[in-house]
Amino acid sequence: MFPKNTWYVACSADELTDRPLGRKICNEPMVFYRAAGGVVAAVEDFCPHRGAPLSLGRVCDGQLVCGYHGLVMGCDGKTVSMPGQRVGGFPAIKSYPVEERYGFVWVWPGDAALADRALIPHLHWHDHPEWAYGGGLYHIKADYRLMVDNLMDLTHETYVHASSIGQKEIDEVPCKTTVNGQEVVTSRFMENIEAPPFWKAALRGNHLADDVPVDRWQICRFTPPSHIIIEVGVAHAGHGGVNAPDTHKVYALVTDFITPETDTSMWYFWGMARRFNPTDAALTAQIREGQGKIFSEDLEMLERQQANHSAFPDRRLLKLNIDSGGVQSRRVIERMLAAEQAASGRGAPANEEVSA
């Protein structure tokens, strides 16, 4: 259901404090902690002594100590010591390649020998003086691919987000989907329209008039395994839309890192990197709060959608033209799964969608 030989966001860097963090990713219980020198490490959340979760332990002088009997675990999954016991012969538990980068901790759940840190996506806006970022995390009880569908088809904004970013023009203006290898891009450009409430507030935040017609754009970019970056913004109409000079627009990147927890649950790391008025901390907090409310409006829909899928597992999904971005993104995921399964001798996954 999800590729494993790839990088997922495991947590934000500030989630790792002086205690270990337990988190299930791709059906695998993991524990993350800061080892010697503050370097992030991750091992299976399973003490080889009695099976206690190592995440219930503590970090002492950069070492992970089990909270049950004091076993000390090494970053490589090998037991280091245990008070009064000889444990050098204990079998190693699984350790995971991890990398702290761009304010996130990335983990590779699959074959460690294949982990290539060059494959971690480059986030050019991180720590850039012209950009500001704010974000958060939601735990959602739904198949992670449902969120991929949701973000690659923004038509739902008209209905789910009617009071913030939705407007009828999203329904009225067709979107275009293109596939570039493993990248899927769905774009929609709306001209000479009224800005919805969220974007009116953003215009005011950049000291621009909010009561004039605008050109609005949405460019959704999916890259595997489940990362979606959405270029969004509005510009005063007649100044070039997405290409308008900064003095006439507000422009941002909605960042979506979707990490499967289980077959029917996910960790959703959301945020917005904006390229206007980046030093205004109050504006960053205001936008983060507004964006958090917008994304929270999706939660019930996705979880109820998952409940329907679980109750009727044999019902197949239908495809319309507005679903093209999500459908093509799922095909990229299916190709990755097929390659992994072929390498292990298992069969390819079944396609769950049909055209209407």
Each residue's pLDDT tens digit, 59-68: 999 999 999 9
Task: Please answer whether residues 29 and 44 qualify as being in contact, where contact means their C-beta atoms are separated by less than 8 angstroms.
Answer: yes
pLDDT at position 157 is 73
- Domains of the chain by start residue, with CATH: 8-119 (2.102.10.10), 132-341 (3.90.380.10)
Q: According to DSSP H, which parts of 258-311 are helical?
A: 281-311
Tell me if the bond preceding 245 is cis, omega within 30° of 0: no
Each residue's pLDDT tens digit, 97-133: 999 999 999 999 999 999 999 999 999 999 999 999 9
Per-residue pLDDT of the chain (356 residues; tens, 9 = 90+): 899 999 999 999 999 999 999 999 999 999 999 999 999 999 999 999 999 999 999 999 999 999 999 999 999 999 998 898 888 889 999 999 999 999 999 999 999 999 999 999 999 999 999 999 999 999 999 999 999 999 998 777 766 776 778 787 777 888 899 999 999 999 999 999 999 999 999 999 999 999 999 999 999 999 999 999 999 999 999 999 999 999 999 999 999 999 999 999 999 999 999 999 999 999 999 989 988 888 888 888 899 999 999 999 999 887 777 789 999 999 999 999 999 988 877 655 555 554 43
Task: Please answer whether residues 206 and 277 qualify as being in contact, where contact means their C-beta atoms are separated by less than 8 angstroms.
Answer: yes
Classify 35 as helix, strand or coil: coil
Task: Please answer whether residues 59 and 20 qualify as being in contact, where contact means their C-beta atoms are separated by less than 8 angstroms.
Answer: yes
End-to-end CA distance of the chain: 24
Instruction: Give the list of residues 6+ apart from residue 81 with CB closer than 8 angstroms, or none.
Output: 71, 72, 87
Each residue's pLDDT tens digit, 233-283: 999 999 999 999 999 999 999 999 999 999 999 999 999 999 999 999 999
Task: Please answer whether residues 59 and 33 qualify as being in contact, where contact means their C-beta atoms are separated by less than 8 angstroms.
Answer: yes
Amino acid occupying residue 209 = A
